[in-house]
Protein backbone atom coordinates (compact mmCIF):
# COMPACT_ATOMS: atom_id res chain seq x y z
CA UNK A 1 0.00 0.00 0.00
CA UNK A 2 2.76 2.47 0.93
CA UNK A 3 4.66 1.74 -2.28
CA UNK A 4 1.61 2.66 -4.34
CA UNK A 5 1.23 5.93 -2.43
CA UNK A 6 4.93 6.73 -2.88
CA UNK A 7 4.77 5.89 -6.60
CA UNK A 8 1.83 8.27 -7.07
CA UNK A 9 3.58 10.98 -5.11
CA UNK A 10 6.75 10.61 -7.20
CA UNK A 11 4.78 10.60 -10.46
CA UNK A 12 3.13 13.89 -9.47
CA UNK A 13 6.46 15.59 -8.79
CA UNK A 14 7.97 17.93 -11.36
CA UNK A 15 10.94 16.59 -13.31
CA UNK A 16 14.24 18.39 -12.62
CA UNK A 17 15.58 19.58 -15.99
CA UNK A 18 18.78 21.37 -16.96
CA UNK A 19 18.87 22.80 -20.48
CA UNK A 20 21.64 23.44 -22.96
CA UNK A 21 20.10 25.78 -25.52
CA UNK A 22 21.48 25.78 -29.03
CA UNK A 23 20.74 27.91 -32.06
CA UNK A 24 17.10 28.88 -32.72
CA UNK A 25 15.68 27.16 -29.63
CA UNK A 26 15.37 29.84 -26.95
CA UNK A 27 11.73 30.71 -27.72
CA UNK A 28 10.61 27.07 -27.62
CA UNK A 29 12.45 26.46 -24.34
CA UNK A 30 10.87 29.59 -22.86
CA UNK A 31 7.44 28.21 -23.87
CA UNK A 32 8.31 24.89 -22.28
CA UNK A 33 9.35 26.67 -19.09
CA UNK A 34 5.69 27.51 -18.45
CA UNK A 35 4.86 23.82 -17.94
CA UNK A 36 4.38 23.11 -14.23
CA UNK A 37 5.50 19.50 -14.67
CA UNK A 38 9.06 20.72 -15.20
CA UNK A 39 11.30 22.08 -12.45
CA UNK A 40 14.13 23.98 -14.10
CA UNK A 41 17.36 23.71 -12.16
CA UNK A 42 20.33 26.08 -12.32
CA UNK A 43 22.94 23.35 -12.08
CA UNK A 44 23.33 20.07 -13.97
CA UNK A 45 24.18 18.45 -10.63
CA UNK A 46 20.53 18.84 -9.58
CA UNK A 47 18.99 17.55 -12.82
CA UNK A 48 17.32 14.25 -13.66
CA UNK A 49 17.00 15.14 -17.34
CA UNK A 50 19.37 17.06 -19.57
CA UNK A 51 17.59 18.86 -22.40
CA UNK A 52 19.74 19.74 -25.40
CA UNK A 53 17.54 22.04 -27.48
CA UNK A 54 18.26 23.39 -30.94
CA UNK A 55 21.22 22.75 -33.15
CA UNK A 56 24.63 22.46 -31.55
CA UNK A 57 28.02 22.55 -33.20
CA UNK A 58 30.42 19.64 -33.06
CA UNK A 59 32.99 22.15 -31.77
CA UNK A 60 30.92 22.38 -28.59
CA UNK A 61 31.15 18.65 -27.85
CA UNK A 62 33.82 19.00 -25.17
CA UNK A 63 31.85 21.66 -23.28
CA UNK A 64 28.66 19.63 -23.60
CA UNK A 65 30.48 16.53 -22.32
CA UNK A 66 31.61 18.50 -19.25
CA UNK A 67 27.99 19.46 -18.50
CA UNK A 68 26.76 15.92 -19.18
CA UNK A 69 29.27 14.42 -16.77
CA UNK A 70 28.01 16.64 -13.93
CA UNK A 71 24.51 15.17 -14.08
CA UNK A 72 24.15 12.38 -11.52
CA UNK A 73 23.37 8.87 -12.72
CA UNK A 74 20.90 7.63 -13.70
CA UNK A 75 20.56 10.50 -16.14
CA UNK A 76 18.53 10.88 -19.27
CA UNK A 77 19.35 13.12 -22.20
CA UNK A 78 16.72 14.51 -24.54
CA UNK A 79 17.94 15.99 -27.84
CA UNK A 80 15.11 18.31 -28.90
CA UNK A 81 15.28 19.59 -32.48
CA UNK A 82 18.94 18.67 -32.56
CA UNK A 83 21.01 15.75 -33.73
CA UNK A 84 22.87 13.89 -31.00
CA UNK A 85 26.60 14.39 -31.37
CA UNK A 86 28.55 11.20 -32.08
CA UNK A 87 30.55 11.71 -28.91
CA UNK A 88 27.41 11.01 -26.86
CA UNK A 89 26.07 8.02 -28.75
CA UNK A 90 22.38 7.28 -28.64
CA UNK A 91 22.16 4.43 -26.13
CA UNK A 92 21.08 6.65 -23.21
CA UNK A 93 19.56 9.46 -25.27
CA UNK A 94 16.28 10.25 -26.90
CA UNK A 95 15.75 12.51 -29.89
CA UNK A 96 12.50 14.48 -30.04
CA UNK A 97 11.02 16.75 -32.65
What average pLDDT does range 79-93 have in this prediction?
A: 70
The CATH number linked to 41 is 3.40.50.12280
- CA dist 44 and 85 (Å) reads 19
Residue 53 lies in a domain: yes
Q: Does a structural domain hold residue 2? A: no
In a domain, 9, yes or no: no
Is position 63 within any domain? Answer: yes
Annotate 33-77 with DSSP letters as a single string.
TT-TTEEE-SSGGG-SEEEEESB--GGGHHHHHHHHTTSPSS-EE
- The pLDDT value given to residue 73: 86
Q: Which tens digit of pLDDT belongs to each residue from 20-62?
A: 999 889 999 999 999 988 999 999 999 999 999 998 888 888 8
Q: How many distinct structural domains can be found in the chain?
A: 1
pLDDT band at 9 (very low <50, low <70, confident <90, very high): low
What range defines the domain where residue 40 resides? 14-96
Amino acid sequence: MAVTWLERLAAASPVAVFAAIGRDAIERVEELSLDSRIAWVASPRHADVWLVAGSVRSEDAQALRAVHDQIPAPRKTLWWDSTPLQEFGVANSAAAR
